[in-house]
Amino acid sequence: MNEVAEATTTCNYRQYVEELQRTGSTLIPAGVVFSDQEITRLEELQAQIPEETVTHGDAGDKHAIYVRRIMVDRAGELPSTVNRPCSDGIIDILSGGQRPECLAALFQSQDPFHIRRCQMNRMIAGSFVGVHLDAASNPDYEYSIIVQLGRDFTGGAFVVYADNGEQSSYMASYGSVLVTTCKYRHEVSKVLSGERNSLVYFYSRHAGVNRRSQ
Ligand SMILES: [Fe+2]
């Protein structure tokens, strides 16, 4: 058995690997990627980071989304961790435990993947994120991971538009992990009630400066 096949078995991710390869996305239920204790700790750490109001998002949205920054990835620069030390604690959890083996299984690759950008996005009723491509932020983003830390919200579906015209819609619940390729356009539909609070981070094989032109 080669290393990737072994990791797939170790992490028991076979069904998610298959779905990720077939549709470009997969929603992994709570308790698989992160333990309950890790999710609780992520929630505690992010709550200590100051929140910014963003009114012009990646998709040109004009309504407010509330953002807590953990790692930023600016054009022409190397990624950098901000709001330390809470952000260090978050990155340690994201990169710790069996995650490297499990990522290798999910991505079906032994190449090193690097977190380049990481932030909390809090959306309230009426907020949405329009259709966009993550490559607009960094052409080297390969996968985004979205850990759902919101409870009791309605709406806010993550909708992916594959190149073959297929559309997949995911309703994430607390503690679940959505993994999606950055190749496809996607959006977050309008949050109807409650708060959708998600930890979003991007993986890339590219470890150098952000090659976005500006
Ligand atoms: Fe996105």
pLDDT on residue 96: 94
Give the Å distance between the CA of 31 and the centre of ligand 1.
24
Give the Å distance between the CA of 21 and the centre of ligand 1.
18
User: Domain 3-204: which topology?
Assistant: Jelly Rolls (2.60.120)
Q: Where are the beta strands (DSSP E) in the chain?
A: 25-28, 52-54, 65-72, 80-81, 114-123, 129-132, 143-148, 154-155, 158-161, 167-170, 177-181, 185-188, 191-193, 196-204
Give the Å distance between the CA of 3 and the centre of ligand 1.
30
pTM (predicted TM-score): 0.91
pLDDT on residue 143: 96
Give the Å distance between the CA of 152 and the centre of ligand 1.
22
pLDDT on residue 2: 59
pLDDT on residue 73: 94
Residue keyed to tokens 């390729």: 181
Give the Å distance between the CA of 4 and the centre of ligand 1.
27
Give the Å distance between the CA of 135 and the centre of ligand 1.
9
pLDDT on residue 13: 86
pLDDT on residue 7: 53
Give the Å distance between the CA of 134 and the centre of ligand 1.
5
Give the Å distance between the CA of 58 and the centre of ligand 1.
8
> In the chain, which stretches have pLDDT less than 50?
1
Give the Å distance between the CA of 9 and the centre of ligand 1.
29
pLDDT on residue 77: 92
Give the Å distance between the CA of 147 and the centre of ligand 1.
13
